[in-house]
Amino acid sequence: MNSDLPDRPRWDDHDDLDLPALAGDAEAEVCVIGLGGTGLSCITEALALGARSVIGIDAVGVAAGAAGRNGGFLLSGTSDYHHELVRALGRERAVAITRLTNDEIQRIAAEVPEHVRFTGSLRIAASDEELGDCEEQRARMLIDGFPVESYHGPEGRGILIPTDAVMHPIRRCRTIAARARARGARLHGRTRALEVGAGMVRTEHGTIRARHIISCVDGRLELLFPSLAGFVRSARLQMLASAPAPEVAFPRPVSTRYGYDYWQQLPDGSVVLGGGRDIAAEAEWTTDSRPSDAIQDYLTRTLRERLGVRARVTHRWGASVAYTTSGRPLFRDLGGSVQVVGAFNGTGNVVGALLGRAAAQRAMRGHSPLAHHFTD
């Protein structure tokens, strides 16, 4: 069914930066592993805080993982809805986190305004029970001073968060990476970290010695740090894209079924749709990121039957993300000046950028005002 299409994201629409591989041993003040949105935010912040030398490495290249293969939603909060976060962490911490993520959306938009659109987002209920949960979320957000509205429209019933946005994930990352290189960061593609220890990263091509090492890997994190395997688990998320579909109009990104399904329509009218992980949950707990027939069939049916898109499918793709047993992102100092940031439980565009910056601040200043809300 999907063998006719390569595993390629809709976003991959212009040239890669084609970073050189590391050639031999190297030294730097800061070494960042992973050149997705998190790693690139981390590098940008380290440079802004005066890091004398920064090396960033990626097993493949810029935005090769989930950071270049996601839905493009920039959403308030974490993978937990705000009211869930209040229940889990208490009001003060939850409010601080939601506020920080709203500020981070603004920061990302200011950083790459050409790749971000402020559309707001819809959370649409798929059942009466979910509508009740939407209402709970709305009430909690209003009490805590966050903008949110009830919504009843062509997409269904639910809530509208007017401060949310969408972005072009790959263009965002490539723009930030090009800027970081221009400011002196040495970025290497095709350079996999094989082992991380105090002050050193062993790669396929040489060993990097660094005062600070920050791992910014989401999916497959447990392969790089086997000691995290009990706490972190990788899953595959999948998407497809259609050709321009003038028969539908989705002015805002939509998520439904508690975020299991999500889609947005791009300015050219094409639709990107992801989700369905829960319909084959066991099979999707995997470090394999290639699209599967079961989920792609589900997505095709959803595209046709739920969204009403008739246009042909042009892209199908998958990527790995990591989940934690706590449900909170991993933001951990492993000692020996090694920090690990990742495992965003499926929603990491905003919180990843935030925590990438927090890790750089901890490295360069010894502390971060962003950090303590996320430290487990």
Ligand X SMILES: Cc1cc2nc3c(=O)[nH]c(=O)nc-3n(C[C@H](O)[C@H](O)[C@H](O)COP(=O)(O)OP(=O)(O)OC[C@H]3O[C@@H](n4cnc5c(N)ncnc54)[C@H](O)[C@@H]3O)c2cc1C
Q: If DSSP codes are grouped into helix, strand and coil, which group holds residue 197?
A: strand
The CB-of-99 to ligand X minimum distance in angstroms stands at 17
Side chain identity at 120, as an amino acid letter? G
CB atoms inside a 10 Å sphere around CB 306: 16
Q: For the CB of residue 178, give the shortest distance to ligand X in the complex, in Å.
A: 16
* Closest separation in Å from C-beta 362 to ligand X: 16
Smallest separation, CB 79 to ligand X (Å): 8
Specify the residue, 172 or 373, whose C-beta has the smaller distance to ligand X: 172
Asked if 70 contacts 168 with a C-beta cutoff of 8 angstroms, the reply is no
Please, which residue, 246 or 350, has the CB nearer to ligand X? 350
Helix (H, G, I), strand (E, B) or coil at 360: helix
* Residues contributing to the site for ligand X (CB under 6 A): 33-39, 57-60, 64-67, 69-73, 75, 192-193, 216-220, 224, 237, 239, 274, 319, 321, 342, 344, 346-350, 352
For ligand X, the closer CB: 349 or 361: 349
Going by C-alpha positions, the residue among 135, 21, 14, 15 that lies closest to residue 81 is: 135
Nearest approach, Cβ of residue 325 and ligand X (Å): 17
The secondary structure of 207-244 as a DSSP string is EEEEEEEEEE--TTHHHH-GGGTTTEEEEEEEEEEES-
Q: Scanning the structure block, which residue is given the tokens 């565009």? A: 349
Closest CB to ligand X among residues 75, 141:
75
Report the residue number, 259 or 269, with the smaller CB distance to ligand X: 259
| Cβ closest to ligand X, residue 69 vs residue 252 | 69
Task: State the residue for tokens 């990843």.
Answer: 352
Sign of CA dihedral 167, 30, 370, 327: positive
- Give, in degrees to the nearest 5, the angle at Cα 133 between 132 and 134: 90
The residue (of 38 and 151) whose beta carbon lies closer to ligand X is: 38
Nearest in space to 123 (alpha carbons), one of 136, 104, 109: 136
Tokens of 270: 């094409």
Min dist CB 276 to ligand X, Å, is: 10
To ligand X, the closest distance from the beta carbon of 263 in angstroms equals 10
